[in-house]
Structure formats: C-alpha cells, structure tokens
C-alpha cells in the first residue's frame, strides 16, 4: 500500500513516516514548497505523480491564536486546500482520510461529544477546519474524517514541549483548569490512520466512511495535563515545577477555546475495533522519547 500524506515536518506526518518505515509501508510526504495548500493548483501534479492507494490530509494551519488575524490564509489552507485534495482523490478513485479537530465544537455540552453532535466553532481555526470537513464530504463519499485533539509528540510544536521549555526557567506555571479534553499522542494517531487506511482500501462498506472521533482514552484539563508532564519529567530526574490551576479568564488569548471538547471514541471502536491507549500511558512514552530516560519507580 502506498500512502500519500500532506505535511513534511508536522507531528502526524512525521509519526506516520516513522511507523510506515517500521511496518514496511510506503509513506510519501508532500509539503511546502512543492505543494502549497493555499494554492490548490500546486496539488494536482505531485498528487497524480505519486500514484497513491490512499491520501491522508494532515497538513494544516494550526496556529490557533494567529488564525484570528490571518483568517483568509487559514481558510485557504484548512478549508479550500483539503477540498481541492479531495477532488483529486475522487479523480484518482482513492479514499481520503482527513484530520480534523475538537475545536469544531462550541464546548458548551455537558457530556462527551459524539459524531451526531452539531459543530459550532468558536474560533477561526475551528471554523476553517469545519469548512475543510464540509468541502471534503462534498467532493467525495469515499472519505474518513477523523477528529482528534490536543496532539503531542516528540516532533514539531506542542503543549508537552512548551511546558518542558517554560519549566526550564520557572518554578511555577499558571495553567487553565476549566478546559476539558483528551490529549492524543501523534504516533497513536499514525497507528490508527494506517489501520483505517488498510481497511478502507480493501472494503467499500459505506459504514466505514464519514466522521469519526479519534482521541487518547481518558480526559483531563490543560492543568491536569501539565501536572502529568511535570510528574513524568520529575520521575526522570527533571526539575519539579508547580502547576497553579487558573480559570480561562486569567489566561487571555486572541482565540476562544471550547471549555469542553471531550470526544467519544465509541464509533471508531465499533466500526474499526480501534482504541487509542490512555493518554497517561502515551505521555509516559513521549517523555521517554523526549528525554531518553525511563521513569523511576515510585
């Protein structure tokens, strides 16, 4: 199987490449400057030349706060670019897997979001990602949209690396404790993407198509996540950093974030028999990879 993925230095595309190498699956990454999602005309030639069995749409404009002031660029990269990519997938008659986000939801639901809940984004990033979902679904029925959340890994930029970097120069950090979600490890996303790709390439079953939620098991808050990060770091001989839980209003940002963006993985489990590891297990793996040290017992 030959997988074509957009993005070359991102968390998910890098994880996919690494896992593909271990599994003997060809993963071709395409990204800037060869293709530019904000210029859809750049996509056709490299995508056709790659002759993929499946396309994974991972690249995105992920700077949530900056998107509030770069709306047109975020819309082009997260909305129109994936739409154009899905048209190419339809032309080549191959499935397209597309990564979307928990930030498509408003965050005012009491319970966990499932795929039947109606998105209502509260940020430009969330709105542009929802536009990507809509444009992909309009271009081809042969799509799987996977909404993930709070992605971290040893690669690229993410909350785990930000916390560890800030912790180097501070003894205490203030972190919001009233936004609830599911941290998700990019290598776990890669494992699921390959399993989903293998299934959809072989099986035209329409119930395997559509929208699915894909997050690490369990839930926490950003403050709870930060506490887990510093506990894991300290267990590896790193500095102890105190996390002060604060309300959202005490950490003003240009973009609004959902207060609750917990996603249920039940549909993915029922359709594909897939469950990601609990976020605590994956965080431990990530810290081992980042520090080159395993946690001490106790």
Ligand X SMILES: Cc1cn([C@H]2C[C@H](O)[C@@H](COP(=O)(O)OP(=O)(O)O[C@H]3O[C@@H](C)C(=O)[C@@H](O)[C@H]3O)O2)c(=O)[nH]c1=O
Ligand Y SMILES: NC(=O)C1=CN([C@@H]2O[C@H](COP(=O)(O)OP(=O)(O)OC[C@H]3O[C@@H](n4cnc5c(N)ncnc54)[C@H](OP(=O)(O)O)[C@@H]3O)[C@@H](O)[C@H]2O)C=CC1
Q: Where are the beta strands (DSSP E) in the chain?
A: 2-6, 26-30, 54-57, 96-101, 143-148, 151-152, 172-176, 180-181, 184-185, 210-213, 220-221, 242-246
| Interacting residue with ligand Y among 60, 92, 136, 163 (CB under 6 A) | 60
HEC profile of 195-234? HHHHHHHHCCCHHHCEEEECCCECCEEHHHHHHHHHHHHH
DSSP-assigned states of every residue in 145-185: EEEE-SEE-SSSS-HHHHHHHHHHH-SEEEEE-S-EE--EE
Chain centre distance of CA 20: 18
CB 32, min distance to ligand Y, A: 4
User: C-beta of 258: minimal distance to ligand Y in Å?
Assistant: 12
Least Å from the CB of residue 237 to ligand Y = 28
Q: Does 187 bind ligand Y (CB under 6 A)?
A: no
How many Å apart are CA 201 and CA 218, to the nearest integer?
30
Of the candidate spans 68-76, 169-177, 234-242, 281-289, the one that interacts with ligand X by CB under 6 A turns out to be 169-177
Q: Quickly count: other Cβ atoms within 10 Å of residue 294's Cβ.
A: 12
Q: How far is the CB of 70 from ligand X (least distance, A)?
A: 14
Cα dihedral 76→81→84→90 (10° resolution): -150
The item of ligand X, ligand Y, none sharing an interface with residue 124, based on CB under 5 to 8 Å by kind, is: none
Residue 35 binding: pick among ligand X, ligand Y, none (C-beta 5-8 Å cut-off by kind) = ligand Y
When the beta carbons of 11 and 140 are compared against ligand Y, the nearer one is: 11
Is 125 among the catalytic positions?
yes
Half-sphere exposure of 54 toward its Cβ, with a 13 Å CA cutoff? 26
> If binding is defined by CB under 6 A, does position 221 make contact with ligand X?
no
| Residue 101 binds ligand X, judged by CB under 6 A | yes
Residue 21 lies near ligand Y (rule: CB under 6 A): no
- Tell me the window of 11-19, 130-138, 173-181, 234-242 that interacts with ligand X (CB under 6 A): 173-181
If binding is defined by CB under 6 A, does position 151 make contact with ligand Y?
yes
- Would you say 68 or 266 has its CB closer to ligand X? 68
Q: Which of 192, 194, 196 is nearest to 208 (CA)?
A: 196
Q: Taking CB under 6 A as the criterion, which residues in 137-166 touch ligand X?
A: 149-151, 159, 162, 166
Catalytic pick among 125, 152, 155, 185: 125
The residue (of 63 and 90) whose beta carbon lies closer to ligand X is 63
Question: Interface residues with ligand X (CB under 6 A)?
Answer: 62, 64, 101-103, 149-151, 159, 162, 166, 173-176, 179, 222, 251, 253, 257
**Residues designated catalytic:** 125
């Amino acid at each position: 199987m030959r997988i074509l993925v957009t993005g070359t230095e991102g968390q998910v595309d890098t994880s996919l490449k690494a896992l593909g190498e271990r599994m003997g699956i060809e993963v071709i990454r395409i990204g800037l400057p060869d293709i530019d999602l904000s210029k859809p005309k750049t996509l056709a030639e490299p995508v056709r030349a790659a002759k993929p069995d499946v396309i994974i749409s991972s690249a995105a404009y992920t700077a949530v706060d900056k998107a509030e002031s770069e709306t047109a660029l975020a819309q082009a990269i997260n909305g129109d670019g994936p739409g154009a990519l899905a048209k190419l997938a339809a032309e080549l008659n191959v499935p397209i897997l597309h990564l979307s986000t928990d930030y498509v939801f408003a965050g005012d639901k009491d319970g966990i979001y499932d795929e039947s809940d109606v998105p209502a984004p509260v940020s430009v990033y969330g709105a542009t990602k929802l536009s990507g979902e809509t444009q992909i679904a309009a271009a081809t029925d042969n799509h799987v949209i996977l909404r993930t959340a709070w992605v971290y890994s040893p690669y690229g930029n993410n909350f785990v690396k930000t916390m560890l970097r800030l912790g180097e120069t501070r003894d205490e950090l203030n972190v919001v404790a009233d936004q609830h979600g599911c941290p998700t490890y990019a290598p776990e996303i890669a494992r699921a993407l390959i399993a989903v790709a293998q299934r959809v390439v072989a099986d035209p079953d329409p119930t395997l198509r559509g929208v699915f939620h894909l997050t690490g098991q369990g839930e926490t808050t950003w403050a709870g996540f930060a506490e887990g990060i510093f506990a894991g770091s300290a267990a590896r001989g790193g500095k102890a950093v105190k996390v002060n839980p604060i309300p959202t209003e005490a950490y003003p940002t240009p973009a609004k974030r959902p207060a609750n963006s917990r996603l249920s993985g039940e549909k993915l489990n029922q359709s594909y028999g897939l469950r990601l590891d609990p976020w605590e297990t994956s965080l431990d793996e990530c810290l081992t990879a980042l520090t080159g040290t395993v946690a001490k017992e106790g």
